[in-house]
Amino acid sequence: MKHSLITLFLLGSCGWLAAQHTTKTPAVYKPVRTDIYKKGWTDFNKNGIKDTYEDPTATIDARIEDLLSQMSLDEKTCQMVTLYGYKRVLKDDLPTPEWKQQLWKDGIGAIDEHLNGFLQWGVPVSDNKNVWPASRHAWALNEVQRFFIEETRLGIPVDFTNEGIRGVESYKATNFPTQLGLGHTWNRQLIHQVGRITALEARMLGYTNVYAPILDVGRDQRWGRYEEVYGESPYLVAELGIEMVRGMQKDYMVAATAKHFVAYSNNKGGREGLSRVDPQMSPREVENIHVYPWKRVIKEANLLGVMSSYNDYDGFPIQGSHYWLTTRLRGEMGFRGYVVSDSDAVEYLYTKHGTARDMKEAVRQSVEAGLNVRCTFRSPDSYVLPLRELVKEGAISEETINDRVRDILRVKFLIGLFDRPYQTDLKGADEIVENAAHEEVALQASRESLVLLKNNENLLPLDITNIRKIAICGPNADEQSYALTHYGPLAVEVTTILEGIQKKIAGKAEVLYTKGCDLVDANWPESELIDFPLTPEEEADIQKAVNQARQADVAVVVLGGGQRTCGENKSRSSLDLPGRQLDLLKAIVATGKPVVLVLINGRPLSVNWADKFVPAILEAWYPGAKGGEAVADVLFGDYNPGGKLTVTFPKTVGQIPFNFPSKPNAQIDGGKNPGKEGNMSRANGALYSFGHGLSYTTFEYSDLKISPKIMTPHQTAYATCRVTNTGQLAGDEVVQLYVRDVLSSITTYEKNLAGFERIHLQPGKTREVTFPIDRKALELLNADMHWVVEPGDFALMIGSSSTDIRLNGTLTVFDPNQPFASENSGERTRISASTRMEIVGNAIDNDLSTFWEGNKGDYITLALPGSAKVDRVSIAFHRDGGAGADFEIQLSGGGGQFLTVYSGTITTYDQLLNFHFKGTTASDIRIVLGDDWVGISEVKLLQ
């Protein structure tokens, strides 16, 4: 890395100063006190001796135990709390002499959102001089860190935490689409890059722990935080979450803290009580949908942080649950980082859930459950002081405190806080944060997140040579706020949709713009329930947009949602276009001009009228600061959209819950015939299904191969197909693999997403795509709540969406401890082997390229149906090199005794050969090898 995080402990002056006051930010940060900064290590406890915890060559466990043994109860409990940053709880931007009298004189676990610019919802970004530029920000955080290293007894560095689900939250940083938009890219490599950039910019700014990714799985489209999920498939959430964490934690750049653990995203009726209570799910659904991503991200990406949610499940608040925070999270999933509470999760145990009698009891329950760090917008004293009382009273053992602190210290050691506590390359911060290369990745993410929902008669892309005037209207056409929400960069330059189009067609066509209507009307959200008449002002605004559309060759209407209609604590009672937006759209369509609808929103919307009457619809979600440029690229054909839906668009909230995956036939209801004489009583089916997304080109799928077709639960099979771009333009296709357990002991989902790959193809080009299929794609949670793979057939479906399946095949799983059964010549054939039972199914899978192999004396045995009379068999052998090999065919009439009915030598391989012998009634037929390293590719019984 060009600008590495340099740990320089250079010469300076002595003693404690309130801060290194400077009017000019230096290029390299140099801490003041020189006596504790040694060559290769820091004397954190100022005793002149290299203690084990100060020794970078010692093991992390040894360093933890050494430090823990030196810590007092006061120092331990201070590590178990977060101090919210400037003007949230902490009134100072830099250390002051008064800090020596505050609770954090003994250290602090974390400082959250310090000087990141965010003050409160709806409040302008902080103008503090240490917020920006990046170098000054890094310098200021170093100054805060210096207090904890130089002025506390043990010098334990603080963990600087911050938000980062669409780029690190800072005055400026690389601004990506919201996580819902990122999910629609289906691009693992891109998400890895997003994670890497987020972490790098965070560390250069001085942050060491970033609250990302969101591992909640979308279930109710009304939910305000739908904009923050990757999608509805637990598999997709896991796959993208793994890449985000790997990107963030590579080289331990930062710790990634995922949220919200667990069962957080499915509240009753989409309502968001402050404690997010009453999620309506069965235990099996919680495991299949909500726990699944956590298990995989923790195990496969070594996640270092978990934010505990403040909802309950089945009457038990997660924050106070030893089962969830210890038995499951640490015991089963192997989590080794630290758990931080979400906002007032601890307080809610007594203020909302009513499971603790007071704050002190809430603290006890949380710590006993497994909480490491309390994080909320309150004084740390409110948590630490009752915690100390509980220990002194014996209500919490100090060994429990030690266990909680071990986890905190482990993360701090892993991310290098004891070896490089300062971000010393201040000049590098200015060069890296929001640099040109990172901005290109952001633009790629914005482009790839776009989904073409509809494109009748190929209205898109627009041909600029045939356009003299283009009319643009809608409340989101010239809006920036969708790119500047909380949890990401706050003050970057945003290209609106209007600006993107203006720049794209400058000098080629005239742009006519008027807003047309506001995002919501004066009576919203009551206007979702009552049809209020348009006001004269609203009618005038719509008419102005109509007049412009009549002058134009094409109209682009930019509608959807925004910070008023979507976000945290902003669930809706409807999924229709809010306010007067539909009135505006209808009026523009009535002009008869070609209309393109662009949606900017944080959740699926029930745009039924638009789907029926608007020829082209582009879903852009919240496409980030580069969204205007990306949308213009798609509208005019400079980029071919390839995003696919990771969510379901219901036709109405009356269908909710309506999401992917679902049980067989769960989305079907009532009659099929509408109208007066029909029998249909409700709208059925999705408006747009999971995986849907169009392109300006076409793709053909072919040549599905499954190898092996028959396997044990412990093997991995591979499904391979070929995808060809059969159109005239280069484009991206998201190839999707779905799996269904055909016959199972419990009802399973109709389709489980089990693989996906976003590929780019030039016209006429073909690419082979291969999906590994292992037990995680085949498991079910059985009646005893154990994860098992049940033997039997699994339907494999590969296609362009969950409803556009192009290729179908079957994978069969058998128990290696039982004879295997498969279809052969119209009968069920059971097969076993003397050795290598796990691959014996290759001998009856109708595929000559796969084979069972054994040595001299080894054999395979096929059970014959009923008491069959057999006098012939067709066998294909395989042997590398082609040397001759002896073999025998034996029959058994029962009782385990086999008699040889044919002996021969094979010299022809890899093709079926017919063998005839004297027939007899038999129960089993056996093929015995007479030489080593001989394979049997196929056996077919001849009638």
Which structure tokens are listed for 870?
């057999």
**pLDDT surpasses 80 at 826:** no
C-alpha Rg value of the chain to the nearest Å:
32
pLDDT tens digits along 323-372: 999 999 999 999 999 999 999 999 999 999 999 999 999 999 999 999 99
Q: What is the mean pLDDT of residues 486-510?
A: 96
**pLDDT surpasses 50 at 5:** no
Q: Which of 868, 835, 828, 872 is nearest to 853 (CA)?
A: 835
Look at residue 15 in the predicted model and tell me its pLDDT: 38
Q: What is the mean pLDDT of residues 472-481?
A: 97
Which structure tokens are listed for 318?
């997660």
Q: Helix H segments across 250-396?
A: 283-285, 292-301, 322, 345-351, 359-369, 381-393
Which structure tokens are listed for 805?
């399946």
Look at residue 9 in the predicted model and tell me its pLDDT: 29
Q: Which of 292, 307, 202 is nearest to 248 (CA)?
A: 202
Look at residue 408 in the predicted model and tell me its pLDDT: 98
Give me the helix-helix angle, 188-205 and 436-449, nearest 10°.
Answer: 140
pLDDT tens digits along 709-726: 998 898 999 999 999 999
Band of pLDDT at residue 837, cut at 50, 70 and 90: confident
Q: Helix H segments across 459-590?
A: 497-504, 536-551, 581-589
Look at residue 18 in the predicted model and tell me its pLDDT: 47
Query: Residue 263, class by beta-carbon neighbours within 10 Å (0-12 exposed, 13-18 middle, 19+ buried)?
Result: buried
Q: Average model confidence (pLDDT) for the chain?
A: 93
Look at residue 119 in the predicted model and tell me its pLDDT: 86
Q: What is the pTM of this model?
A: 0.90
Band of pLDDT at residue 670, cut at 50, 70 and 90: confident
**pLDDT surpasses 70 at 161:** yes
Look at residue 271 in the predicted model and tell me its pLDDT: 79
pLDDT tens digits along 885-930: 999 999 988 777 899 999 999 999 999 999 999 888 888 899 999 9
Band of pLDDT at residue 759, cut at 50, 70 and 90: very high
Look at residue 10 in the predicted model and tell me its pLDDT: 30
Give the span between the Cα atoms of 660 and 672, in whole angstroms. 22
Percent share of the chain, pLDDT over 70: 95
Residue type, 87: K
- Give CA torsion, residues 745, 750, 754, 755, to 10 deg: 160
Q: CB of 6 within 8 A of CB of 29?
A: no
**CA dihedral over 820, 824, 828, 830, signed as positive or negative:** negative
- Classified as helix, coil or strand, 678 is coil
Look at residue 21 in the predicted model and tell me its pLDDT: 54
pLDDT tens digits along 415-455: 999 999 999 999 999 999 999 999 999 999 999 999 999 99
Percent share of the chain, pLDDT over 90: 85
Q: CB of 675 within 8 A of CB of 785?
A: no
Active site residue 342: yes
Which structure tokens are listed for 115?
């000087």
Give the span between the Cα atoms of 603 and 653, in whole angstroms. 12
Q: CB of 610 within 8 A of CB of 565?
A: no
**pLDDT surpasses 50 at 315:** yes
Q: CB of 591 within 8 A of CB of 549?
A: yes
**pLDDT surpasses 90 at 96:** yes
Which structure tokens are listed for 4?
């590495």
Band of pLDDT at residue 307, cut at 50, 70 and 90: very high
Kind of pairing between the strands at 595-600 and 616-619: parallel
Residue type, 401: I
Q: What is the residue whose two structure tokens read 């969510």?
A: 647
Band of pLDDT at residue 838, cut at 50, 70 and 90: confident
Comparing 259-263, 481-485, 730-734, which segment has the lowest mean pLDDT? 481-485
Give the span between the Cα atoms of 102 and 336, in whole angstroms. 31
Entry field: residues in the chain = 943
Q: CB of 122 within 8 A of CB of 403?
A: no
Look at residue 645 in the predicted model and tell me its pLDDT: 98
Give the span between the Cα atoms of 241 and 422, in whole angstroms. 29
Q: What is the residue whose two structure tokens read 């997660």?
A: 318
Q: What is the mean pLDDT of residues 286-304?
A: 98
Q: CB of 376 within 8 A of CB of 347?
A: yes
The residues with which 876 forms a beta bridge, in sequence order, are 938
Look at residue 897 in the predicted model and tell me its pLDDT: 85
DSSP labels, 70-105: H--HHHHHHTTBEEE-BTTTB--SS--GGGGGSGGG
The residues with which 805 forms a beta bridge, in sequence order, are 799
DSSP labels, 348-379: HHHHTS--SSSHHHHHHHHHHHT--BB-SSS-
pLDDT tens digits along 785-822: 999 999 999 999 999 999 999 999 999 998 877 766 65
3-state per-residue secondary structure call for 414-458: HCCCCCCCCCCEHHHHHHHCCCHHHHHHHHHHHHHHCEEEEEHHH
Burial readout 579-593 (b: 16 or more C-beta within 10 A, e: otherwise): bbbbbbbebbbebeb
Look at residue 943 in the predicted model and tell me its pLDDT: 61
Look at residue 665 in the predicted model and tell me its pLDDT: 78
Q: Which of 505, 515, 576 is nearest to 545 (CA)?
A: 515
Q: What is the mean pLDDT of residues 690-718?
A: 95
From 106, 342, 478, 924, the catalytic residue = 342
Q: What is the residue whose two structure tokens read 């140099």?
A: 30
pLDDT tens digits along 7-30: 332 323 333 444 555 568 999 999
Look at residue 819 in the predicted model and tell me its pLDDT: 65
Q: Which of 64, 55, 44 is nearest to 402 (CA)?
A: 64
Give the span between the Cα atoms of 245 and 118, in whole angstroms. 24
Give the span between the Cα atoms of 479 and 497, in whole angstroms. 8
Look at residue 377 in the predicted model and tell me its pLDDT: 92
